[in-house]
Chain A
């Protein structure tokens, strides 16, 4: 089956093969939503799972995302606006924190999972998260902090988002952050890595 080829090519990190496999599927008349969901996103889910399990490593995850994006770019013109249902995610590092490697990995995997991701970058004040969530009608805000000194800013941002009354969930992560801290500051969830972040994002949006 053509979609299996797409899935395999992503997991094998083969960029040319994924392009050939997507073209083959398009030519064979496979529904684009099947190519997207079962081929491209299905493969990235497996990449995320293998990463969380410690079987795949960061550079492989980056490569897989690049390969997946090649396929995605090929089918994008063919998608009939049926890719909006997966949710809108706002992401950024909290005020005072300019460490964005972890945040970038989560952002990339969220995109790979089919979410619409609005990446606000680094050193994002609470108001900016709220503003963007309001403007985009977002479902989820992901906040990242790498420093013990910026954890306070994370707490303040989550509190501000809650008190804004927006119907948006919050997810936190980063080296010094854990489930206890997430509970303390009233975040809706904590994810230890990019693979888990995708799963948690889906759960939070479904709830």
Chain B
């Protein structure tokens, strides 16, 4: 008994991370840290114009350089790399990994160099010259919709990828028939209507680790191993196998330590395909590491969508109907999820409100810019922004407290599961509880008084409030073309240690810790007896990946199920050893024993050893303790919350300072509140970043103006206040953990509440809406009587 200390329950505790010892000592292995014997380096020559036809590519100087192994043009690459595939059911133009004839954005690859080291590869890429026939750059999204000043892709007239796709009230599920009766009635009955065009601008995801790929094709085995800074190695494996006519058994994809993803590292990129294809062609290992300056051009951007919102309401603030017309600037091509991102915006148009009639339309437009795709929140922050800013405008128009307008429209707790006008089925929620807690933590009435006092003193102080609800825990398969499940395998080894795998490949989310906590409780063993494996398709047999706040809600649930299966089998072995009934056994403190009689039991190790040398083998059992599970949720989860901001604007310079940010988030049950806080902090910083300092900008000629951290700001420590967090807990019924997911939550409410706070601070100048970002000059103009 001496070896069995009392083990504390782990789930729900602030357990410090098991990932950290290696990372704080510089012992993590990221892609660029890898070395393989004989490995050479890849660099890309990239277009420096936004739109043009290639007349010629001169690679002669590059090819003649010492240390250059090979140089490939787009046409040569196209001989063995097919067009880059997408996964959404929308029409998509031909997208070559390396341009064959027409460049469509600055940064698009035009040629590829293989050299013996990265310095030579870069020298050679710089020495490649391209002669272009210049074409007009398509930059302005709404002008692009008229086909002006040029058409990017021949089969996409007026640059439309998707045109006026309707959904919501009165729209048949196939989108073919549209009945406007309810919507028209809502607007006819309205006592007040607010209408606003809002821009939810482009962002650069900016994971601190740029992308990188190492590919190692071994001709003798006809096997490919690809390491990539990627959020979904199983999807990468499938993509690479399919691209090169290989089987999924012949490709091993590894996402080693990944330095942040934020949605921009879900897909297999052109560079992944090219590096893998060249490794296969040349029979050597190859590495490509993205520069930050490349990342701003070549890694997908996020957001980039214009919303025209109309809200019909009564004079008492009850919303009767809403129209939301979306125009997305998707850049030069559809990439993996591009076309689907705005569908998440429309899906969440109901927000936290019982709105009886809603109509949305989506239009997606090609422009000569970097393609957009998922970025933390991926469509839901945009929905939250449009609707919450709209409700803020409504409150201002009705001279109502912004909290009160929300409260009058909430979906009530007894309405769940709640089917929205958009077809979403919200799982659970108590929105008023989150609002009330946020108001209480903010000291709402006092805060308003402080604001009024400050304004009376001539200071430009404002407060803003936003609710949010997001769709998370992405699955089931009906809504996710990748498959909406997750996979896990749990193995109790002969010595009683536990190996577990998950297909949810983390890049900072701490799954090694949270998943370990869950198994520690499930098996009553110490946390340090458990290893969680991820990110390697040869070890984690199946998986989808980490995006859409799905690690815990889907991946965690799969782990829980796999663990449950092994536990059940282990209980049968223990029951045989103990001559007890398996249902009477408890797993705790490193022992399996009959409930209420801990001394009667066997150590966990003894039972494990028996399962592998089962003499005698209990009837009906196979040897061994290893089980796997797929978990397919019955529905998404819908986490929610309320964020409140206090902002002050310098009257002389227009510089905004965020003074307070109060957040109440409800992600259902929490496995590790410390890690959850970290996730929310990071999301808040990114949401605040969008509102205040981040914006990808292009010149009229399609040249990017923000392609280094010299010009694109992401928040620094001194830009942010100490966040004030709290939470409510409304478990979800759609998975056995009751966990909803939290990775993206912080980006949802923070952005609109900060902008609303700025509008509040400047409302004395007659402004009712300000488009982000809150550029000091823009605010200064408002203060000085100009337009926003």
Indicate whether A and B interact.
no
Q: Which residues of A contact B (CB under 8 A)?
A: none
Q: Which residues of B contact A (CB under 8 A)?
A: none
